[in-house]
A and B are shown apart, each in its own frame.
Chain A
Amino acid sequence: MAEAQTKMTPQQKIEMARKALEGGSRGEVNPQGFAEDAVMRGSLVPEVRGRAAVAAALNEVPKKFDEFRQEPHAILADNDHVVALINLTVKPKGGQRVQAQQVMVVHTNDKGQITEMWGMIEPEALKKIQGR
């Protein structure tokens, strides 16, 4: 996990993350929320680099499922990170609904844009989501 400093307050970053998650669940991620060289590593998508690619990849995720709902249980922030604990509900196409806990760790720059994002779903729940 790389280091990053920001001038946004933790509370501002928490609000930013909450809005981003709301948009993400609808497949309406705002590309301007990401730095041009943003990097995302996640359980549901391979490593993606670049603002447009990250936003596009995130917008594709809900389309892969009959249901995709991210409900933040808690969002914490400090000078370096934003961490979201998320209750995730996913229903794969033609499959059973899976509930899992997801953790997202985010770095932001001075403009409040996401520079790096790491998302993790517990692997054994991920297997069910992916039908493996």
Chain B
Amino acid sequence: MAEAGTKLSLDQKIQVVRDSFDAFKRGDINALSNAFSDDVVWHGRGSTKYGGDFKGKQAVLGMIGQYPQDFQDIKQDVHDILGNDKHVIALVNTTSKRQGKTIDDQNVFVFHINDQGKTTEAWLIGDTELLKTALES
């Protein structure tokens, strides 16, 4: 994971991330778009369409926008958000449904936030095998 510095306070950075999850929950694409830098890179894991690197705001928003099309009743319980001068980490319990089956996963999101309060890089760590199985069902 690359390093990135910021002049925002820790609380401000944590709030940026909290606001991003709230925007996703509301389906507020404009707010979500404002949360990312133009050159944001999202690092997904695994071999599904959510895996690999998504470079640029449009690619990232496209990937995120795909998720509610593949899964229903998505609930993200933000369990805790921690930060330091380089990273903000969100511990999130995610529940969703696909074809009537409930999928529970514990996700760890890692963010780099720039001086403008925008996410420049993000990593999502979750059970990619669970995701793969769900998408293949």
Contacts and interface: CB of A to CB of B under 8 A. Distances in A.
Interface residues on B, range: 20 to 34
Interface residues of A, number: 18
A45 interface: no
A44 interface: no
A110 interface: no
Contact of B129 (A1, A101, A124): A124
B93 interface: yes
Q: Is the interface of A mostly helix, strand, loop or mixed?
A: strand
A77 interface: yes
Contact of A80 (B80, B87, B106, B108): B80
A105 B46 contact: no
A20 interface: no
Interface string A93-132: 0000000010101000000000000101011100000000
A91 interface: no
Interface in B84-137: 84, 86-87, 89, 91, 93, 106, 108, 110, 123, 125, 127-130
B87 A1 contact: no
6 contacts: A1-B93, A83-B91, A105-B108, A120-B106, A122-B128, A124-B46
